[in-house]
Amino acid sequence: ECAERSRSAAKEKDGAQKGPALTGRLFKDLPISQRTLQGLEASQYVKMTEIQSGAIPPALFGRDILGEARTGSGKTLAFLVPVVESLYRRRWSKMDGLGAAIVSPTRELAYQIFQVLSNIGQGHELSAGCIVGGRSLEEEQKAVSEMSLLVATPGRLLQHLDESPGFDASNLLALVIDEADRIMDFGFQETMHHILGHLPSARQTLLFSATLHGSVHRLSRAALRAPEVISVHHDA
Ligand code: ADP
Ligand code: MG
């Protein structure tokens, strides 16, 4: 269901705008697995955008990331590549609980992220899902206890952390907060702080935003530890 709905969303988006500016730096020169590289190549991702070449190397090294770049600059791969690699390097399985959570402000954006993940992660045996409400909580509860990676809206993720008995986020390796400015604009401050309270502090956190205004700064201070800051300001 996630995949179906995001396919149409991706199509609309592709038609509406041209691609981002690319650097001369290549995905194949990153220290990443053949599986991920093949997934990237299958989607015709060869050269990196500026935010990707800035954020992916330190993220692969384990650093927290505070990434600022405009809409359309390629932030999705800037976090998906390191997150997928991180789970693969540790041979993460369904038995290990939740390995990574990606928080997105809206259902549509969550579906789009899930679609890109399905494409670049096709060579991995990764149990992934998106939880954005719309299905019954009970139905989702069965599924989430087996997920290694989740793409979620803030409210629904918190609901599962609070209420789903088999849902174990105590081993979580990585948290991604995407479109942090919109998450804050939509009034999810409290929700995000509760989510952070549920997660282990020894984790990697990647926060991306088009702008870093006041409430995003507060969230980043609460969520990140000594982040590498990557700001792409020109119209890349
Ligand atoms: P953002 O999250 O910053 O708004 P996206 O990650 O949604 O940007 O990417 C915007 C568009 O650029 C998408 O259509 C995506 O497929 C395309 N894109 C991203 N990275 C690359 C790349 N390295 N090479 C070619 N196209 C890319
Ligand atoms: Mg995005």
For position 188, which CATH number holds? 3.40.50.300
> What's the confidence (pLDDT) of residue 2?
66
CA-angle at 93, arms to 201 and 227, nearest 5°: 30
Q: Band of the pLDDT at 15, cuts 50, 70, 90?
A: very low
Average pLDDT over residues 78-91: 98
Average pLDDT, the chain: 92
The pLDDT of residue 3 is: 55
Atom of ligand 1 nearest to the CA of 69: 3
Is 40 a member of any domain? Answer: yes
User: What is the residue whose two structure tokens read 């929700």?
Assistant: 191
Which whole number is the average pLDDT over 44-71?
98
Relative to the CA of 19, which ligand 1 atom is closest?
12
C-alpha–C-alpha distance, residues 3 and 159, integer Å: 22
Query: The domain containing residue 219 runs over which residues?
Result: 2-231
Ligand 1 shell residues, CB under 6 Å: 14, 19-20, 22, 45, 47-49, 52, 69, 71-77
Structurally, the chain folds into a number of domains equal to: 1
Cα 72 to ligand 2 centroid, rounded to whole Å: 7
| Interface ipTM | 0.99
pLDDT value of position 173: 98
Q: Is residue 87 part of a domain?
A: yes
- Residue closest via CA to ligand 1's atom 2 equals 75
Q: Is residue 118 part of a domain?
A: yes
Cα–Cα distance, 201 to 232 (Å, whole number): 28
Q: Are 72 and 210 in contact (CB under 8 A)?
A: no
pTM for this prediction = 0.93
Residue 236 lies in a domain: no
Nearest protein CA to atom 9 of ligand 1, as residue: 74
What are 164-220's pLDDT values in tens digits?
988 989 999 999 999 999 999 999 999 999 999 999 999 999 999 999 988 999 999
The answer to the question of residue 224 being in a domain is yes
pLDDT score for 135: 77
Question: Residue with structure tokens 């993220």?
Answer: 59
